[in-house]
């Protein structure tokens, strides 16, 4: 097990900000993970578990303890009657898993193509895009339980999945190190083409698109929004969507509609959001004066997506946070809604 010191974390995140980890260990097996935990415990070091770094804002001071990067590899596939089971090491790249599933003609995760990060990161905030969420296909999780010091199998129900939430980022935050995720997919299943952007893409299409065509469409749409990490595209130097779509009570929704009506505006209607009384955070941001491309310094809004805060080069975490707070305050002043950030804040 290689123990490194003062390792830059900025380089290990997609938004490229943040200071160093005091200690850094990448583990590739369960027994290495146990050794790394012992290392942290015997020195009383705070532990942070790192995946692909695509949903993180690391403070400029960095992390004072041990950063444990989960690099557990492996992918096993079992074909059963009417279902395909994929058991995947938490350190595998998520999009490679989607590509593999689609190549095997297995449905269930094709719309989640292009989401950066590791397999182990997917259950944490129950990643979702274009009408699919990973909670729909996760069968179970193998994790190290730091509370009881043992390896546990968690079934889907035990993970407490809902919109951008699971026990791993809420009630049991910091308790588990996810080592393996098992997905249940549908061989020969139809692609999920329900989301407005995808329907638009396929309008006029002859017949039903294949899983591969759907994955390809998702990646093209994502790239057009800077939501596909592409070398050279500085609009993808982000942590993805910076704010969650707010879920409102009936009263809050009425209040928001009244504020919009007073400005002769209508809150855009997206069936996928309305079903949950969610409002588009992007719309709120854009209608608070933060249009795409806003900002002139080292931090700004992506030119392709109003919800992505972008590091335009050598930004600090402090600058990102100041910009985040500016947006939150203006949206709250105008619309009466406090946006909640989506990324995880490390070392603040
Ligand atoms: C351009 C871009 C587009 C994005 N698009 C989407 C999108 O469409 N939908 C969406 O939901 N998200 C999206 N994201 C956010 C992000 O990609 C996902 O949340 C991703 O699953 C994070 O995984 P990660 O491995 O990078 O986790 P990290 O960023 O490394 O960590 C995130 C959190 O998960 C924890 N964690 C990571 N691995 C483990 C593990 N093995 N065990 C325990 N805890 C762990 C960390 O401690 C941290 O709390 C996007 C991000 C970017 C940069």
The answer on pLDDT for 273 being more than 70 is no
3-state helix/strand/coil string of 42-104: HCCCCEEEECCCCCEEECCCCEEEEEEEECCCCEEEEEECCEEEEEEECCCEHHHHHHHHHHC
**Inter-residue contact 165 to 247 (CB < 8 Å):** no
**Inter-residue contact 342 to 324 (CB < 8 Å):** no
Q: Please report the pLDDT score of residue 59 as a whole number.
A: 98
Mean pLDDT over residues 47-64, rounded? 98
User: In the Cβ-directed half-sphere of 57, how many Cα atoms lie within 13 Å?
Assistant: 26
Rounded to a whole number of angstroms, the CA Rg of the chain reads 21
Gap from CA of 301 to ligand 1 centroid (Å): 20
pTM recorded for the entire structure? 0.95
Gap from CA of 209 to ligand 1 centroid (Å): 28
* Sheet with strand 63-70: strands edge to edge: 4-8, 20-27, 63-70, 47-50
3-state class (DSSP) for residue 329: helix
Mean pLDDT over residues 17-42, rounded? 96
Q: Please report the pLDDT score of residue 314 as a whole number.
A: 93
Mean pLDDT over residues 337-348, rounded? 97
Q: Give the binding-site residues of ligand 1, using a 6 Å CB cut-off.
A: 14, 49-56, 70, 90, 115-118, 120-122, 124-125, 127-129, 168, 176-178, 227, 229, 236, 238-240, 344
Cβ-in-10-Å burial (0-12, 13-18, 19+) of 42 comes to exposed
Res. 253 pLDDT band, cuts 50 70 90:
confident
Question: Residue 19 pairs with which residues in a beta bridge?
Answer: none
Token representation of residue 225: 């929004």
Dump pLDDT digits (tens) for 304-326: 999 999 999 999 999 999 999 99
Mean pLDDT over residues 122-151, rounded? 96
Gap from CA of 124 to ligand 1 centroid (Å): 7
Q: What is the atom index within ligand 1 of the atom nearest the CA of 112?
A: 8
As a whole number, the mean pLDDT across the chain is: 95
3-state class (DSSP) for residue 186: strand
Dump pLDDT digits (tens) for 199-248: 999 999 988 999 999 999 999 999 999 999 988 888 989 999 999 999 88
Q: Please report the pLDDT score of residue 275 as a whole number.
A: 64
Q: Where are the alpha helices (DSSP H) in the chain?
A: 30-42, 94-103, 196-201, 211-224, 250-262, 271-274, 281-286, 317-335
Q: Please report the pLDDT score of residue 249 as a whole number.
A: 85
Pocket test for ligand 1, best of 28, 96, 116, 342 (most atoms within 8 A of CB): 116
Phi-psi region of 214 (alpha: psi -120 to 50; beta: other; left: phi over 0): alpha
The answer on pLDDT for 276 being more than 70 is no
The answer on pLDDT for 144 being more than 70 is yes
The answer on pLDDT for 187 being more than 70 is yes
Q: Please report the pLDDT score of residue 238 as a whole number.
A: 97
Gap from CA of 107 to ligand 1 centroid (Å): 22
**Inter-residue contact 190 to 108 (CB < 8 Å):** no
How far apart, in Å, do the first and last CA atoms of the chain sit?
28
Residue 328 φ/ψ, nearest 5 degrees:
-60, -45
Q: Please report the pLDDT score of residue 89 as a whole number.
A: 97
Positive or negative, the Cα torsion across 140, 163, 102, 72?
A: negative
The answer on pLDDT for 74 being more than 90 is yes
**Inter-residue contact 284 to 337 (CB < 8 Å):** yes
- Active site (catalytic) residues: 164, 241, 342
Interhelix angle for 317-335 vs 250-262, to 10°? 80
Residue 209 φ/ψ, nearest 5 degrees:
-65, 155
Pocket test for ligand 1, best of 29, 37, 114, 240 (most atoms within 8 A of CB): 240
Q: Please report the pLDDT score of residue 281 as a whole number.
A: 95
340: DSSP letter = P
**Inter-residue contact 151 to 142 (CB < 8 Å):** yes
Pocket test for ligand 1, best of 17, 24, 51, 145 (most atoms within 8 A of CB): 51
Q: Please report the pLDDT score of residue 137 as a whole number.
A: 98
């Amino acid at each position: 097990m290689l123990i490194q010191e003062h390792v830059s974390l900025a380089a290990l995140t997609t938004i490229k900000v943040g200071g160093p980890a005091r200690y850094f260990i990448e583990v590739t097996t369960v027994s290495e993970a146990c050794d790394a935990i012992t290392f942290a415990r015997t020195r009383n070091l705070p532990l942070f578990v790192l995946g692909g770094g695509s949903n993180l804002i690391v403070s400029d001071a960095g992390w004072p303890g041990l950063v444990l990067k989960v690099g557990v590899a492996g992918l096993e596939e079992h074909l059963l009657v009417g279902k395909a089971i994929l058991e995947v090491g938490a350190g595998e790249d998520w999009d490679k898993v989607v590509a593999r599933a689609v190549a095997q003609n297995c449905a269930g995760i094709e719309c989640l193509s292009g989401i950066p990060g590791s397999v182990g990161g997917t259950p944490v905030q129950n990643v979702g895009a274009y009408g699919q969420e990973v909670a729909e296909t996760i069968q179970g999780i193998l994790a190290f339980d730091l509370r009881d010091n043992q390896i546990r199998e968690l079934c889907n129900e035990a993970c407490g999945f809902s919109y951008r939430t699971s026990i791993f980022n809420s009630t049991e935050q910091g308790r588990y190190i996810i080592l393996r995720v098992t997905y249940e997919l549908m061989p020969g299943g139809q692609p999920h083409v329900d989301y407005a952007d995808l329907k638009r893409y396929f309008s006029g299409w002859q017949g039903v698109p294949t899983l591969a065509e759907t994955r390809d469409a998702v990646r093209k749409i994502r790239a057009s929004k800077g939501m596909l990490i592409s070398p050279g595209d500085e609009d993808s130097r982000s942590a993805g969507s910076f704010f969650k779509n707010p879920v409102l009570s009936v009263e809050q929704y009425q209040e928001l509609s009244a504020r919009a009506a007073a400005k002769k505006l209508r809150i855009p209607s997206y069936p996928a959001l309305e079903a949950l009384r969610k409002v588009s955070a992007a719309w709120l941001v854009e209608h608070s004066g933060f249009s795409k491309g806003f900002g002139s310094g080292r931090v700004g809004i992506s030119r392709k997506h109003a919800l992505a805060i972008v590091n335009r080069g050598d930004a600090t975490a402090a600058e990102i946070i100041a910009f985040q707070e500016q947006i939150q305050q203006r949206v709250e002043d105008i619309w009466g809604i406090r946006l909640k950030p989506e990324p995880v804040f490390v070392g603040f």
